[in-house]
Amino acid sequence: MGASGYIGGRLVPRLLDAHYAVRCLARRPEKLEGSPWSARAEVVGGDALDPASLDAAMAGIDVVYYLVHAIGTGKSFVDDDRAAALTTAAAAQRAGVRRIVYLGGLVPPGEVLSPHLASRSEVGQVFLDGDVPAVVLQAGVVIGSGSASFEMLRYLTERLPVMVTPTWVRSLVQPIAVRDVLAYLVGACSFPEETNRRFDIAGPDTMSYSEMMQRYARVAGLRPRVILSVPVLSPWLSSQWVNIVTPVPKALA
């Protein structure tokens, strides 16, 4: 589930190359027709909120990868995320699925979570509380060409030699390369059947967003960026700022 997304579209060929049979569930199957791997995988239509379509899609399936989230669909995305996870967990139990693998976000200890990160953590807990064993991978910022995090970083650094930023650019993160995320996802298939827990996955380095931008500038041959953070930018203004400068939708900023 989620094969049309950034991670899902890269995971499918990895699974196929590892000799797994893959069935992809998509609300709009035609979106996957042009994928270079589409002839090697089975593609079916369905929706995470539609139990009947999930029952059909999960028939005979051993492992369900859940790589979907509702952010960007409106103010009700938290409710939609919860409902989709509950519906998926119930369908997996009915189908006799052996495992659910979910990719969420790394949760900083002791910090107030954003609605987006809190919702992703809640989805992971829904699966862990269900009847089907779940592997919940909690990833740091995923870095790879085309990822929302990387494209935001790249566009901000390349377009703004001097920038006034919200305070979140000082937040510490543990970025992880997309190839490592994919390796963990494929490996989750071979965990012991009784495994039902969260795993934090991240790279070895801890740094701030501003440090990542300076590193990108150095690697790209750009001058060091002047980054000034101010506490007066609201989350709304911050998302608008990112949306104007980068191709990242403001719902994801």
pLDDT above 50: residue 253: no
Instruction: Classify residue 193 as left (phi > 0), alpha (psi -120 to 50) or beta.
Output: alpha
Number of C-alpha atoms within 13 angstroms, CB side, residue 176?
20
Residue 250's pLDDT is 47
Dihedral sign (CA 180, 181, 186, 190): positive
The pLDDT tens digits for 130-170 are: 999 999 999 988 988 888 888 888 888 888 898 877 777 88
Q: Which domains does the chain have, with CATH numbers?
A: 6-245 (3.40.50.720)
Q: How far apart are CA 162 and CA 232, in angstroms?
A: 18
Rounded to whole angstroms, the maximal C-alpha distance in the chain is: 57
Contact indicator for 1, 58 with CB cutoff of 8 Å: no
Helix ranges restricted to H, the chain: 6-17, 51-58, 77-95, 115-129, 148-159, 178-187, 209-219, 235-245
Task: Name the residue with higher pLDDT: 16 or 35.
Answer: 16
Amino acid, res. 202: A
Per-residue CA distances from 244 to 110, 216, 237, 239 (Å): 32, 20, 11, 9
Q: How far apart are CA 147 and CA 237, in angstroms?
A: 22
The pLDDT tens digits for 111-123 are: 777 777 888 889 9
The pLDDT tens digits for 212-235 are: 999 999 999 999 988 887 765 555
Q: How far apart are CA 97 and CA 100, in angstroms?
A: 8
